[in-house]
Amino acid sequence: AQSVTQPDIHITVSEGASLELRCNYSYGATPYLFWYVQSPGQGLQLLLKYFSGDTLVQGIKGFEAEFKRSQSSFNLRKPSVHWSDAAEYFCASFTGGGNKLTFGTGTQLKVEL
Partner 1 sequence: KAGVTQTPRYLIKTRGQQVTLSCSPISGHRSVSWYQQTPGQGLQFLFEYFSETQRNKGNFPGRFSGRQFSNSRSEMNVSTLELGDSALYLCASKSGGANEQYFGPGTRLTVT
Footprint of partner 1 (CB under 8 A): 32, 34, 36, 41-46, 49, 51, 90, 92, 94, 96, 98-106
CA atoms lying within 13 Å on the CB side of residue 82: 5
Q: How far is the CB of 112 from partner 1 (least distance, A)?
A: 24
**Closer CB to partner 1, residue 59 or residue 81?**
59
Q: Which amino acid is at 45?
A: Q
Q: How far is the CB of 70 from partner 1 (least distance, A)?
A: 23
Q: How far apart are CA 2 and CA 83, in angstroms?
A: 34
**Closer CB to partner 1, residue 11 or residue 44?**
44
User: CA triplet 89, 93, 97: central angle to 5 degrees?
Assistant: 150
